[in-house]
């Protein structure tokens, strides 16, 4: 159980971070994500859609830690997974995915993307490997493994090594088959939902509550008008 620094998240509650993780969060390279909206221009239509890549990265970081813990990964592997997810969007440009076509158009022949690969993924890997601030906080060997986790090159082997610890479980989805995905298993017909599945269920409940609140507000406004 983490006993490090905590930050209050509106969905996940307190998200704990160890001191070395907090140093990464505090560095300017990561703090830049506070200024990048997760939903690009959606806030122009939905004023409440103002959460950022910073918020998103912390939430994903928390979920990944819970998943690693549930899989029984060792402390070193859990640390790498948490850091990989924390930094997975570090290369996003302003307006997030909306700016991807612009970046691709103006990069020309300077970059070579793999099929289905996006520019921000390539940029994220480059920042993780070459940024001097991150280099001072994360070992070179760990930064290489983090990039391999994000691309699936290291994570898939990591998952396969732990499959022997999951006796009696039927594999439904790979954890790192092509990047970081969810895991769901069935054991004797009983579905065991991952931390992300629980989060998605909670988000669905929250969304339903929001819809109900909107209807209530609309009814109240009609009554006043």
Output the 3-class SS for the chain: CCCCEEEEECCCEEEEECHHHHHHHHCHHHHHHHHCECCCCHHHCCCCCCCEHHHHHHHHHHHHHHHHHHHCCCHHHHHHHHHHHHCCCCCCCCCHHHHHHHHHHHHCCCCCCCCCCCHHHHHHHHHHHHCHHHHCCCCHHHHHHHHHHHHCCCHHHHHHHCHHHCCCCEECCCCCECECCCCCEEECCEEECCHHHHHHHHHHHHHHHHHHHHHHHHHHHHHHC
The three-state secondary structure class of 116 is coil
Q: Annotated active-site positions, please?
A: 120
* Cβ proximity of 34 and 54 under 8 Å: yes
């Amino acid at each position: 159980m983490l006993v490090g620094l905590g930050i209050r998240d509106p969905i996940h509650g307190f998200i704990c971070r160890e001191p070395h993780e907090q140093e990464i969060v505090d560095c300017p390279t990561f703090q830049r994500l506070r200024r990048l909206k997760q939903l690009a221009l959606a806030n122009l239509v939905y004023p409440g859609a103002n959460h950022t890549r910073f918020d998103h990265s912390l939430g994903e970081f928390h979920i990944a830690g819970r998943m690693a813990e549930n899989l029984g990964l060792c402390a070193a592997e859990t640390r790498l997974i948490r850091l990989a997810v924390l930094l997975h969007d570090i290369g996003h440009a302003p307006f997030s995915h909306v700016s991807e076509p612009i970046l691709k158009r103006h990069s020309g022949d300077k970059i070579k993307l793999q099929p289905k690969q996006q520019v921000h993924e390539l940029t994220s890997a480059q920042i993780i490997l070459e940024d001097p601030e991150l280099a001072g906080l994360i070992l070179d060997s760990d930064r290489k493994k983090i990039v391999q986790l994000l691309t699936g090159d290291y994570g898939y082997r990591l998952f396969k090594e732990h499959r022997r610890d999951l006796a009696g479980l039927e594999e439904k989805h790979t954890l790192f088959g092509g990047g970081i995905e969810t895991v769901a298993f069935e054991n004797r017909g009983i579905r065991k939902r991952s931390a992300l599945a629980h989060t998605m269920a909670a988000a669905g409940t929250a969304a339903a509550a929001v819809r109900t609140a909107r209807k209530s507000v609309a009814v109240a406004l009609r009554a006043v008008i």
